Chains A and B, each alone.
Chain A
Amino acid sequence: MTSGEVESSRPPPPPASDGGHGPKRLALAALAANRLSREGRRRMKQHIARCDVCRAEWPRVKDAVRAVREARGEPPPLDWERLEKTLSHVALEESRQLRTIRERERWQKRLGRAWIPVAVVLAAAAAYWLGLRAGRTTEPPQAPAPVAERRQPDRERPPARPVERAVLTVRSTALVGRVSTRRADGSAPIDATLASAWAEGDAAELDAGATWVARLCAGEPCPADRGGTIRVEEGSRLALRSIRDGFVELGLDRGATTVEAVPLREGERFALLAGNLAVRVRGTRFRVSIPDANDRETVDVAVARGVVEIVHLPTGRRNVLEAPAQARFVRGAMQDRRALDGELEGPHGSGATLSGWVAVSLPSMPRGARSWRFADGPGGGATGALLLREGPATLEWTFADGRIERVALNVVSGLTVEPPEAAVTAPRTTTASGTLPREAISRVVSAGVPSVRRCYEHRLRRRPQLEARVVVRLRIGVDGTVDDARITSSDSPPELRDCVLPAVRAWRFPEPTGGPVTVQVPMTFAAR
């Protein structure tokens, strides 16, 4: 073969006295390709003379080396003219597209950010005009429930303010207790239970015992694969310090906040400024807390996933904390660094439990239903997730014809309430202490693998190097259906997770005995 480094760096094989081995083809090939030293050649030839096995193999190896040498010939001449003509069509199409892109880039450069205020003014004018036309006919927004989460329709969002340069879309997904908010410009406070647009300086303060979970996204629209989720803990004060070019800086003045940033797009960053410390993140779950409100130089940081960069702003001192780890930072110096004790709770808590409250999902309303309410609890007309106290509860659906259907629930972690079938009158009860044979679970999981693999193969077309590991925790309801499935650990792209979860939810298990069963299914995806 060629004068490659592999064989030339290897010492020639020691001379054998007999043929008690397989043919030494690589050494023979090195000899045939003239890659051995003088001494190596001499010893190899001596060996061939004595060894029947290698002598018998030598002609074939020599032929093989000759074949490699001959395969190094130049390719036959091709019809370059025809190729050029065919490719010119592709070149024309591609160059047109590139010219368009260039032109657009030039215009964007010229305009700079001038379009942002223009767009905001236009949006505000449009909103004002629409408000004049439709304002008197829309229903007044309902009073916020003491414990509630809503996905409010867009019409209830406050109109955009013309002074904003860039906005942070904040969507509350869960709230316990009371959060008071204020606008930097002193205008009407933000309703923290709704989706709202935040501008620089807007802030939220949480009462004792309150917890607020919200999704954040720079700008509008805010697709699911962007932004991050925060959980602000009781007694905290959090403000939007700045937002520009997709870089969001939140300031934590006191208390604690957990951030879960979904994999961000290029150029999109989250930073949490706590005291004099900036904690920057890319695709990470971390919690930052100020243990003493009077000491802005001491900040605790815990990282559950990914890596965060911690910058002490006055000195510019940088530290990197890689998950799973926690550390205390005093005047920018990392102290007391150690492994994270257990799993850091995400914004929605571990298993969606927030200090005794449980997130309950209402994915849709039954046909003909107008509203729902919990006996002695919150009610409303929208679906979504809400927080309830653990334990028994009764959900009532009110239909347009005045009929009321009740569903008895035992509220446990991660409960999804499906709308009742029209014919179902018996209450549906769930508990979390059933059993199901391991073999039965394995059988269903094995049968469901192809549907999950399709998700992976679909993504593989875009990212040929994609490898991923996902752990899905699923709850098998009393009827054998998956009534809740969530990813508990994953190093996979969100679009893969978004595909895996519906596939898993479609699995059908045998009915467990004694109540629902929760199982964890680890999945590893790798291309062969």
Chain B
Amino acid sequence: MNDEEAVAAIDPLVQRCLEGDERAFRDLFVRHRHDVSRIVFRVMGPSADLEDVVQEVFVHVYRSLRSFRGDAKLSTWLHRLAVNVTLMHLRRARSRPRFADVPVPEAPHDLDVGSPQRHAERAERVRALYRALETLTEKKRTVFVLHDLEGLPAKEVAEIVGAPVLTVRTRLFYARREILSALAREPSLGAVAEELMAELGITDDKPGDQP
């Protein structure tokens, strides 16, 4: 489905919402809840607050629908709102005490995870990444998450953050550089350094396998 078709398919739903059709709000929620939850999850990382933030995003969506003029794709508008609400939540969270004993929901084990030890290492790596993301400015964090984690093209990221594509690429460049330097200082990474050194260019290192 190309962009125009997507807009044409979504518009009637927004129209129904604007007419005051209560069921249309529910349909909007059902249709977009997975997209919204994925964006929120990727911006904030593993967190016990995921469900609350998703709810907050939809409250904002419902209340801001009347200002949605249709000049952007609905998905772009939703992305923008989801990112902004999540960043707002993170900002608030920084000034609140943290509770270490809240169970953190983890992503389903959809990747090839072997032993429990590997699973623990993987979880630790992701947590380390989000610690590194914490050190970025919001602008760089947003661009990195949308482009590198969510896999959106730079053009779409530019529309979401309201900046030129070149600016997005510049932010992405610096975000990657800062994340790599932050992760280089992360003690949880490189624990298997020797093992990986052995892999370098010889065993399962895919880039090296290709001539």
Interface positions of A (Cβ within 8 A of B): 1-2, 4-7, 23, 25-26, 29, 31-32, 34, 36, 38, 41, 45, 48-49, 55, 57-64, 66-68, 70-80, 82-84, 86-88, 90-92, 94-102
SS class, residues of chain A in contact with chain B = helix
Question: Contacts A34-B206, A70-B122 hold; do A26 and B107 have CB atoms under 8 A apart?
Answer: no
The listed residue (A36, A66, A87, A99) touching B207 by CB distance below 8 A is: A36
List 26 A-B pairs, Cβ < 8 Å: A6-B169, A6-B172, A29-B176, A41-B210, A55-B197, A63-B125, A64-B179, A64-B189, A67-B129, A68-B129, A70-B122, A71-B45, A73-B108, A74-B38, A75-B41, A75-B50, A76-B41, A83-B29, A83-B33, A83-B55, A87-B25, A87-B62, A90-B63, A91-B26, A94-B62, A95-B21
Please tell me which stretch of B2-10, B92-100, B180-188 contacts chain A, meaning at least 4 of its Cβ atoms lie within 8 angstroms of it: B180-188
A71 to B106, CA, bound (A): 11
Is the beta-carbon distance between B177 and A88 smaller than 8 angstroms?
Answer: no
Is the beta-carbon distance between A26 and B176 smaller than 8 angstroms?
Answer: yes
Q: Which residue of B lies closest to A73 (CB)?
A: B107
Q: Which residue of A lies closest to B113 (CB)?
A: A70
A-contact 0/1 string along B189-210, CB 8 Å cutoff = 1101100110011000011101
Is the beta-carbon distance between A75 and B190 smaller than 8 angstroms?
Answer: no
In the complex, which residues of chain B have a beta carbon less than 8 angstroms from the beta carbon of A38? 210-211
Q: Which residue of B lies closest to A79 (CB)?
A: B51
In the complex, which residues of chain A have a beta carbon less than 8 angstroms from the beta carbon of B26? 84, 88, 91
A31 to B177, CA, bound (A): 14
In the complex, which residues of chain A have a beta carbon less than 8 angstroms from the beta carbon of B21? 95
The 8 A-B residue pairs whose C-beta atoms are closest, nearest first, are A99-B20, A75-B41, A91-B25, A73-B107, A67-B125, A25-B180, A76-B105, A59-B196
SS class, residues of chain B in contact with chain A = helix
- Listed residue (A60, A63, A82, A99) with the most chain B CB atoms within 10 angstroms of its CB: A63
A51 to B126, CA, bound (A): 29
Counting contact residues on chain B (CB < 8 A from A), the size range is 35 or more
A41 to B207, CA, bound (A): 7
Quick one: which of B47-104 are within 8 Å of A by CB?
50-51, 54-55, 58-59, 62-63, 65-66
Is the beta-carbon distance between B125 and A84 smaller than 8 angstroms?
Answer: no
Distance between A11 CB and nearest chain B CB, rounded to angstroms = 14
Distance between B41 CB and nearest chain A CB, rounded to angstroms = 3
In the complex, which residues of chain B have a beta carbon less than 8 angstroms from the beta carbon of A4? 147-148, 154, 172
Question: Contacts A6-B173, A75-B37, A94-B25 hold; do A63 and B50 have CB atoms under 8 A apart?
Answer: no
The listed residue (A26, A75, A98) touching B66 by CB distance below 8 A is: A98
Is the beta-carbon distance between B184 and A57 smaller than 8 angstroms?
Answer: yes
In the complex, which residues of chain B have a beta carbon less than 8 angstroms from the beta carbon of A92? 22
Is the beta-carbon distance between B17 and A95 smaller than 8 angstroms?
Answer: yes
Beyond A95-B21, A102-B19, 8 additional pairs, beta carbon < 8 A: A57-B184, A58-B200, A59-B192, A67-B128, A70-B111, A71-B45, A72-B42, A88-B25
A-contact 0/1 string along B112-144, CB 8 Å cutoff = 000000000010011011100000000000000
In the complex, which residues of chain A have a beta carbon less than 8 angstroms from the beta carbon of B50? 75-76, 78
Is the beta-carbon distance between B149 and A71 smaller than 8 angstroms?
Answer: yes
Is the beta-carbon distance between A78 and B129 smaller than 8 angstroms?
Answer: no
Question: Contacts A36-B207, A57-B184, A76-B107 hold; do A83 and B54 have CB atoms under 8 A apart?
Answer: yes
The listed residue (A71, A82, A94, A98) touching B126 by CB distance below 8 A is: A71
In the complex, which residues of chain A have a beta carbon less than 8 angstroms from the beta carbon of B107? 73-76
Question: Contacts A1-B148, A4-B148, A67-B129 hold; do A74 and B206 have CB atoms under 8 A apart?
Answer: no
In the complex, which residues of chain B have a beta carbon less than 8 angstroms from the beta carbon of A91? 22, 25-26, 29, 62
Q: Which residue of A lies closest to B19 (CB)?
A: A102
The listed residue (B20, B42, B62) touching A71 by CB distance below 8 A is: B42
Q: Which residue of B lies closest to A61 (CB)?
A: B180
Distance between B10 CB and nearest chain A CB, rounded to angstroms = 17
Is the beta-carbon distance between A72 and B151 smaller than 8 angstroms?
Answer: yes
In the complex, which residues of chain B have a beta carbon less than 8 angstroms from the beta carbon of A83? 29, 33, 51, 54-55, 58
In the complex, which residues of chain B have a beta carbon less than 8 angstroms from the beta carbon of A34? 206-207
Q: Does B13 contact A (CB under 8 A)?
A: no
A68 to B189, CA, bound (A): 12
Distance between B100 CB and nearest chain A CB, rounded to angstroms = 19
Q: Which residue of A lies closest to B127 (CB)?
A: A67
Question: Contacts A4-B148, A6-B172, A58-B200 hold; do A87 and B193 have CB atoms under 8 A apart?
Answer: no
Q: Which residue of B lies closest to A72 (CB)?
A: B149
Q: Which residue of A lies closest to B20 (CB)?
A: A99
Is the beta-carbon distance between B148 and A2 smaller than 8 angstroms?
Answer: yes
In the complex, which residues of chain A have a beta carbon less than 8 angstroms from the beta carbon of B210? 38, 41
Is the beta-carbon distance between A98 and B59 smaller than 8 angstroms?
Answer: no
Distance between B95 CB and nearest chain A CB, rounded to angstroms = 16
In the complex, which residues of chain A have a beta carbon less than 8 angstroms from the beta carbon of B106? 76
A403 to B29, CA, bound (A): 74
Is the beta-carbon distance between B190 and A63 smaller than 8 angstroms?
Answer: yes
Distance between A99 CB and nearest chain B CB, rounded to angstroms = 3
In the complex, which residues of chain B have a beta carbon less than 8 angstroms from the beta carbon of A70? 111, 122, 125-126
Distance between A164 CB and nearest chain B CB, rounded to angstroms = 34
In the complex, which residues of chain A have a beta carbon less than 8 angstroms from the beta carbon of B192? 59, 63
Distance between B49 CB and nearest chain A CB, rounded to angstroms = 11
- Listed residue (A29, A59, A92) with the most chain B CB atoms within 10 angstroms of its CB: A59
Is the beta-carbon distance between B37 and A78 smaller than 8 angstroms?
Answer: yes
Distance between A62 CB and nearest chain B CB, rounded to angstroms = 6
Q: Which residue of B lies closest to A78 (CB)?
A: B51
A70 to B19, CA, bound (A): 42
Distance between B17 CB and nearest chain A CB, rounded to angstroms = 7
Distance between A201 CB and nearest chain B CB, rounded to angstroms = 38
